[in-house]
Amino acid sequence: MRDNGLLLQSKPHPAPDTRRHTGRVAVGESNRRWSSDGFEFRCDNGEKLRVTFAIDCGDREALDWAASTGGYESDMVQDVMQRSVERRFGQKPADSAHRMADG
């Protein structure tokens, strides 16, 4: 294919990230920091199953999760976090709860 000029043009590689990552996610006690993340895998029938979850960064307990064959949506992640608070504390989060997002 190379001899006949049939190869696709390769993409340029981005420069490596030189920032130091000195932050720490884990904390020493429960209920100080929570995080959400997600993963996906392909089922035998070819469908993708996507799972999003909330985890306590102190005791590493999975607080809540949701699965879907659709994409990740912010409403799903917000619902997971809301249910996590309700299950852990038995009430809805206060309006003053500190929420951060990277998206």
103 pLDDT more than 60: no
- Can you state the percent helix, strand and coil of the chain, rounding each to 5? 15, 25, 60
* CA dihedral over 63, 35, 95, 73, signed as positive or negative: negative
**pLDDT in the model for residue 95:** 62
Alpha helices in the chain (DSSP H): 74-89
Q: What is the pTM of this model?
A: 0.66
Indicate whether 10 pLDDT > 70. yes
pLDDT digits (tens, 9 = 90+) for 40-98: 999 999 999 999 999 999 999 999 999 999 877 888 988 998 899 899 888 766 665 66
Sorted by where each begins, the domain ranges of the chain are: 34-89
